[in-house]
Structure 1
Amino acid sequence: MDKSSDRFLEQKRRSFWLKHLHQWHWISSAICLVGMLLFAATGITLNHAAQIEARPHVVSKEGQLPPDLIRELEQGGGAEKAPLPAAVRQWLLSEFSVPVGEQPAEWSADEIYLSLPRPGGDAWLSVDLPDGAVRYESTDRGWISYFNDLHKGRNTGEAWKWFIDVFAIACLVFCVTGFFLLHMHARNRPVTWPMVALGVAVPLFLALVFIH
């Protein structure tokens, strides 16, 4: 009676943990599924970046600020780094279709320079002072470069950084719950721990022997 009772309690505990581990395992896998596909695919493209041909597309634009905006820039000078005035940003959006935002530009006596990096490309904008000549250049390196920069978190902004943090936590939950599920099923699957050991040994061997 005691043995059967202990067996019943053990099975009940096992069922409890299996239920919750499976639940967290599938929830975390659902959260990080698309992210895993993205990071796995871009891991391949980054690893073979030298073999993947990139054809940057460069767009250049030139324009002339109206006199009232030039005066506003001259009055707003003084700081080495400061955002462009709102009226100038609105003019750039309407004339060049360039959303500048409130990121700081580099101000000097004869020029204002604004770097506009983004995933998959770069851009810059300069305003000559005091004549108000505007030059803009944008370089687009294509979709592969775009997704590679998402992988690296390069010039992606705060929202994407938060996504990477949430994605990383979901991956940790997925891996930890997977490990405990392996542990609970290992009794009926003898190859479990040799496969886990192989997964540890192969990258460790490569790192110690081939990476210097």
Structure 2
Amino acid sequence: MTEQTTNSSAPDKRRATKHNKNGWKKQTASWSRWLHTYLSMISFIVVLFFAATGFTLNHADWFSNKPVIKKYTGVLNAKWVKTKDTASVDKLDIVEFLRRTNGLKGSVSDLRIENNDVSVSFNGPGYAADVFIDRDNGGYKITETRLGLVAILNDLHKGRDTGKGWSVTIDLVALFMILVSLTGIIMMCFIKKKRSNGLLLGVLGFVVVYLLYIFLVK
């Protein structure tokens, strides 16, 4: 009697093990499908943005606008710049005054203090402004350049002159797209009828891109 009970329990254990294994596979496939579906919907706009700006970057001459250049003059507090020690020049007050008074944008990419003048450069996506300040009287001249919407989008794509916040955003987008890709691959691995062809096409795509690089990039 004991022997029969032992023998009958063996198939039950195998069935339980198989059931647990299948349950794990189904759960993994389900989570991958759920993640991939919703992440793909969220990433649609991101992919569209980087695809469109990738095209405009590759054909920059097709979309380049004539730069809009404006020049301004003004006078700031001479005490900020007329000092014997160049280290005591009030950089913060100068920059904030120029932003507030002339509406300059972007971040300060360069600020140089010479014997006779102070130069300040502002840069942002599709934007640049150069300021030259006379240290004797506080008079200044500004040359502001705007390159248009396409230039702004291209700089956002490259992360040029966009600040740390946008740089972090690009990193997060990259990680996000990696996650979308990985969940897509995991999903494919669980679809028996399409798994072989899908993975084969993935490998083929990688090989094609690599060959294009080998033969077209010198």
Name the TM-score, length of structure 1 as normaliser.
Answer: 0.85
Partner of 1:166: 172
Matches within 5 A, 1:17-166: 17-65=28-76, 69-75=77-83, 77-79=85-87, 84-86=91-93, 88-98=94-104, 105-166=111-172
Tell me, in whole angstroms, the C-alpha distance in 2 between the residues paired with 1:100 and 1:92: 12
Aligned-pair distance for 1:31?
Answer: 4.5
Tell me, in whole angstroms, the C-alpha distance in 1 between the residues paired with 2:174 and 2:202: 21
Q: Aligned AA for 2:55?
A: I
RMSD value over aligned CA atoms? 2.5
Q: Kindly report structure 1 stretches of 4+ aligned residues shifted beyond 4 Å.
A: 1-7, 99-104
Matched residues, percent identical?
23
Tell me, in whole angstroms, the C-alpha distance in 2 between the residues paired with 1:151 and 1:101: 18
Q: Aligned AA for 1:46?
A: L
Structure ranking higher in helix proportion: 2
Identify unmatched segments of 5+ residues in structure 1. Answer: none
Aligned-pair distance for 1:84?
Answer: 1.9
How many residues in Structure 1 have an aligned counterpart in Structure 2?
206
Aligned-pair distance for 1:9?
Answer: 2.9
Aligned-pair distance for 1:102?
Answer: 7.2
**Contact 1:118/1:155 (8 A) holds in 2:** yes
Partner of 1:188: 193
Tell me, in whole angstroms, the C-alpha distance in 2 between the residues paired with 1:43 and 1:149: 11
Answer with 175-184 or 94-103: which moved more: 94-103
**Contact 1:93/1:100 (8 A) holds in 2:** no
Name the TM-score, length of structure 2 as normaliser.
Answer: 0.83
**Higher Cα Rg: structure 1 or 2?**
2
Q: Check 1:79–1:184 CA distance in 2 against 1; reply closer, same or farther (3 A cut).
A: same
Q: Aligned AA for 2:187?
A: L
Deviations 1:147-194 (A, max 9, x none): 100111000001101101111111111111111111111x21153123
Choose between structure 1 and 2 for higher RCO, CA contacts under 8 A separated by at least 6 residues: 1
Identify unmatched segments of 5+ residues in structure 2. Answer: 1-10
Q: Aligned AA for 2:193?
A: N
**Contact 2:129/2:143 (8 A) holds in 1:** yes
Tell me, in whole angstroms, the C-alpha distance in 2 between the residues paired with 1:154 and 1:84: 24
**Contact 1:106/1:113 (8 A) holds in 2:** yes
Aligned-pair distance for 1:76?
Answer: 7.8
